[in-house]
Amino acid sequence: GLPIYLFTGNHDMWMFDYLKQELDVPIYRHPIIREIDGKTFFIGHGDGLGPGDQGYKLIKKIFANRACQWLFARLHPNFGIGLANFFSRRSRAANHHENQFLGEDREWLIEYAKRKSAQHPEVDYFVFGHRHLPIDFSLPNGRSRYLNLGDWISYYSYGRFDGQDFQLAFFENPVGQVIKG
């Protein structure tokens, strides 16, 4: 079988080590750099990276705090789930524009990949999934590309590496709708 690697994101803050213990699935909470067939990949979920969204980054630190997690676990499930659903609905309403490409200068993960490509010029592909948009963007260093995988629900998109090049692909739609840059 194929190995599975899990990169936690904004919906996985409370994920602990169940999948690691039960199925031996490695869980990554931060981006990693891996060489595969001579190409260098910088891989992560993309959540909370790049400039901006300081309010969310603060909330993420609070949610990741062990003491806060312990306190939340003490709440009655009806109250805890209700509270989580309230904040989820509020976040969804505030971020209704999220499935639109905001432009090169307003896409935080593009800015993040640009900065990291200057620090890690050996990286060929910066691969993320957080934005849920299929994006393939050439970075200014002339070597690296930022690729956002899109999602399986709206775009039926995924990433495919053939040993030489990494491309976005689309299930049952070979043309797809890649945002190029």
What token pair was written down for 136? 């393939």
Residue segments in the chain with a per-residue pLDDT below the cut of 50: none
Q: Can you list the domains of the chain with their CATH numbers?
A: 6-51+99-180 (3.60.21)
What does the pLDDT read at residue 157? 93
H helices then E strands: how many in the chain? Answer: 5, 10
d(CA 9, CA 44): 9
DSSP 86: H
Read off the amino acid at residue 115: R
